[in-house]
Amino acid sequence: MKTIKDLGDLAGKRVLIRCDFNVPLDGDTITDDGRIKAALPTLSQLVDAGAKVVVMAHLGRPKGEVNPKYSLAPAAKRLGELLGVPVKLAGDVVGPSASETVASLANGEIAMLENVRYEPAEESKVDAEREALAAKYAAFGDVFVSDGFGVVHRKQASVYDVAKLLPNAAGHLVEKEVEVLKKLTATPERPYVVVLGGAKVADKLSVIDNLLKVADTLVIGGGMGYTFLAAQGHEVGTSILDAEKIDVVKGYMADAAAAGKQILIPVDAVITPEFNDGSRKSTVDADAIPADQMGLDIGPKTGALYADAIAGAKTVFWNGPMGVFENPDFADGTMAVAKALAETDAFTVVGGGDSAAAVRQLGFADDQFGHISTGGGASLEYLEGKELPGLTVLEG
């Protein structure tokens, strides 16, 4: 995979760069700018090199239609503040405003096109449609840099097709993510503990399958924990349950036991009759969840058990919260895991998405962890062993 240094002297060249600025918003206010900060090393290097930088990015899912709710204006403003230079935002993606904005760039200046997902062809399944749009993108650049790791698992015009039309390279963010994920899959220091949470078992089944071959211990929490409890024959009440996957989960538990691996599942749970801000909550053992109540967090005994597993590890990968952490009543389990990761000397990776949002919301700093990934889905697909189109195209 080529890197920026392989592109040579970039002074005066137009560098088209794909970033991932899909940040959470409260109105026009960015509530977590981690993905923008993660792009700064690459963007700063390009600006300092005297390149004319043209940023492509997306926000949300406007589904091929212009929708002010998904404008990149807040991202452009925040990027300008962090870089200390103005960021010109085009009023469209590949229209007259984009052309004028790019043409107006001087050396060392930076512009951003509007949300690429305003264009219907960006996510098209028809190759020719994506390729036609990619040709319009390519007209704005002399070289292409891929630095949006959160989208490299997508075969999209601004990720995949444009890379085939221009000399290309990986930015520092993509380079770092691949380096970390290779370490997790090929050469992890042991014991290697993988912590998986989130709502659905189905989303993580292939990951579990692949990681059972590599990890020493799998720690299961979040909504998916109740499918594992059901697989052991326990009542899970009205908790999230992936009933169709119970037999698959039983198979994983049997495979782990046969291979001498450990799968840790909740031993207690924080439950409530109904989820709302005034929820009446209580803590019960995992085999004593009433039929009319739901689990929304791991309990304190489980939190301590999982913290012990993390403390004894040399490598830890964590993806997915342990409960509904957005509500303080159900955040203790996620806090216990985050605290254990922050305190261990192990190499720790927080796997993007909700996990990254959780650690920041709970008051942890990025540098308390070995690496915070910017790509939840991309990280998981890499760990599954899948081919990621946005990476393979850079190897050509």
Query: What Cα–Cα distance (Å) separates residue 139 from each residue in 15, 50, 51, 98?
Result: 11, 19, 16, 11
**pLDDT in the model for residue 185:** 87
Dist CA 366 CA 390 (whole Å): 26
**Contacts (Cβ under 8 Å, ≥6 apart) of 122:** 58, 64, 116, 130, 133, 156, 157, 158
| Mean pLDDT of the region 357-370 | 90
Dist CA 25 CA 44 (whole Å): 24
Q: Mean pLDDT: which of 257-261, 310-314, 355-359 is highest?
A: 310-314
- Give yes or no for a contact between 92 and 65, defined as CB atoms under 8 angstroms apart: no
117 annotated as ligand-binding: yes
What residues are labeled active site? Answer: 35, 200, 353, 377
371 annotated as ligand-binding: no
pLDDT band at 354; cut points 50, 70, 90: confident
Dist CA 160 CA 157 (whole Å): 6
Q: How do residues 63-121 score in pLDDT, each as one tens digit?
A: 999 999 999 999 999 999 999 999 999 999 999 999 999 999 999 999 999 999 999 99
Q: Read off the pTM.
A: 0.88
Indicate whether 276 pLDDT > 80.
no
Q: How do residues 124-154 score in pLDDT, each as one tens digit?
A: 999 999 999 999 999 999 999 999 999 999 9
**Which of 206-210, 211-215, 279-283, 356-360 is least confident?**
206-210
109 annotated as ligand-binding: no
Q: How do residues 6-47 score in pLDDT, each as one tens digit?
A: 999 999 999 999 999 999 999 999 988 989 999 999 999 999
Best CA proximity match to 34, nearest among 383, 377, 365? 365
Q: What is the mean pLDDT of the chain?
A: 94
Indicate whether 205 pLDDT > 80.
no
pLDDT band at 396; cut points 50, 70, 90: low
60 annotated as ligand-binding: yes
pLDDT band at 279; cut points 50, 70, 90: low
**pLDDT in the model for residue 10:** 98
- Furthest CA-CA distance within the chain: 67
Indicate whether 385 pLDDT > 90.
no
**pLDDT in the model for residue 145:** 98
282 annotated as ligand-binding: no
| Mean pLDDT of the region 155-161 | 98
**Which of 11-20, 195-204, 385-394 is least confident?**
195-204
Adjacent-strand bridge partners of 30: 25
pLDDT band at 212; cut points 50, 70, 90: confident
280 annotated as ligand-binding: no
326 annotated as ligand-binding: yes
**pLDDT in the model for residue 1:** 87
**pLDDT in the model for residue 149:** 95
Indicate whether 364 pLDDT > 70.
yes
Domains of the chain: 4-171 (3.40.50.1260), 179-384 (3.40.50.1260)
**pLDDT in the model for residue 291:** 96
